[in-house]
């Protein structure tokens, strides 16, 4: 639409994008729709949101992935860095969902007791069902919390949302829960390899990007948890 609306010429369009954060099934080649960026693009390498520790761990989610640059070539994260440092991400394995939710409440309480305001804490999950479970776990522990699917968080409330809903948001502290074998990648979002290998690979890549987006919402503290076996998408 933009290409059709703006006559072709020098400095006619200014586009900013990151295909590593593509979480929907929309793929386009800029070249094919008449937008020529060859020799006119620049890579932004400094991350101003997350700490180096969170960024480094999160990049491991995408290591080895062949992600396109929207111009019929491959994108790279080589050289991306953060100049801010903090604690490494916390990885927590629980034997059952109830134990995982209890740990979530404990970690959030520790963040709040450390001076973090409730509105600076975000919780992400792959499904709305897991979001609702986490809301119940927090409110049951005396921590005001709300699902962003219902309304915006008020002052004094922890915000919870699906990974898709978290895109574009940021928090001082983020917990990504339910990152287990049977939830991430979401089975309903992945084409079986026996049906179409190409579609399967792209679907899994999109799920990796979704987890990457969720984890990089954190500025200072990040926790990733699961119950049972961990997701195959987590770095080894």
Q: Which residues of 85-114 are buried (b: 16+ CB within 10 A; e: fewer)?
A: ebeebeebbbeebeebbebbbebbeebbee
Q: Tens digit of pLDDT for each residue in 125-144?
A: 999 999 999 999 999 999 99
pLDDT tens digits, residue range 64-98?
A: 666 665 665 656 666 778 888 999 999 999 999 99
Token digits of residue 122: 């975000």
Closest to 226 in 3D by CA, of 93, 90, 33, 79: 93
- Please tell me the predicted confidence (pLDDT) of residue 48: 82
pLDDT at residue 49 greater than cutoff 90: no
Q: Which pLDDT score is estimated for 82?
A: 85
Which secondary-structure segment (H or E) carries 199? helix 197-215
Q: Is pLDDT of 43 > 60? A: yes
pTM for this prediction: 0.85
Contact predicate 75/22, CB 8 Å? no
Which whole-number Å values give the CA distances from 21 to 58, 130, 157, 163, 197, in the listed order?
A: 12, 22, 27, 12, 22
63 pLDDT more than 80: no
Mean pLDDT of 189-216: 93
Q: Reply yes or no on whether the pLDDT at 35 is more than 90.
A: no
Average pLDDT of the chain to the nearest whole number: 89
Mean of pLDDT values over 198-212: 92
* First-residue to last-residue Cα distance in the chain: 42
Q: In the structure encoding, which two tokens stand for residue 12, read together?
A: 């006619």
Quote the pLDDT of residue 191.
Answer: 94
E strands along the chain, which residues? 90-94, 121-125, 145-147, 158-162, 171-176, 218-227
What pLDDT is stored for residue 74 in this prediction?
56
Q: How far apart are CA 46 and CA 56, in angstroms?
A: 12
Q: What structural domains and CATH numbers belong to the chain?
A: 1-236 (3.40.50.300)
Tell me the pLDDT band of 6, cut-offs 50, 70 and 90: confident
In angstroms, how far apart are the furthest CA atoms of the chain? 60
What pLDDT sits at residue 185? Answer: 95
CA distance 107 to 222: 10
Main-chain dihedrals φ then ψ at residue 145, nearest 5 degrees: -150, 155
Instruction: Return the higher-pLDDT residue of 79 and 10.
Output: 10
């Amino acid at each position: 639409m933009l290409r059709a609306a703006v006559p072709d010429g020098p400095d006619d369009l200014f586009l900013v994008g990151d295909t590593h954060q593509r979480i929907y099934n929309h793929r386009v080649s800029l070249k094919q729709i008449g937008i020529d960026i060859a020799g006119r693009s620049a890579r932004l390498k400094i991350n101003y949101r997350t700490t180096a520790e969170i960024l480094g761990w999160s990049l491991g989610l995408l290591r080895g992935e062949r992600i396109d640059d929207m111009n019929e070539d491959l994108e790279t994260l080589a050289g991306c860095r953060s100049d801010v440092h903090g604690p490494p991400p916390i990885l927590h394995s629980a034997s059952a969902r109830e134990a995982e939710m209890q740990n979530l409440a404990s970690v959030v309480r520790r963040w709040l007791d450390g001076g973090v305001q409730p509105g600076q804490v975000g919780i992400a999950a792959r499904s709305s069902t897991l979001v609702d479970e986490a809301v119940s776990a927090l409110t049951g522990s005396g921590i005001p919390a709300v699902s962003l699917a219902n309304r915006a968080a008020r002052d004094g409330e922890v915000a919870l949302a699906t990974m898709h809903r978290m895109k574009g948001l940021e928090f001082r502290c983020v917990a990504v829960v339910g990152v287990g074998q049977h939830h991430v990648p979401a089975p309903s979002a992945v084409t079986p390899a026996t049906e179409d290998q190409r579609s399967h690979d792209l679907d899994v890549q999109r799920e990796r990007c979704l987890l990457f987006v969720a984890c990089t919402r954190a500025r200072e503290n990040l926790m990733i948890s699961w119950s049972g076996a961990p997701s195959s998408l987590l770095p080894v």
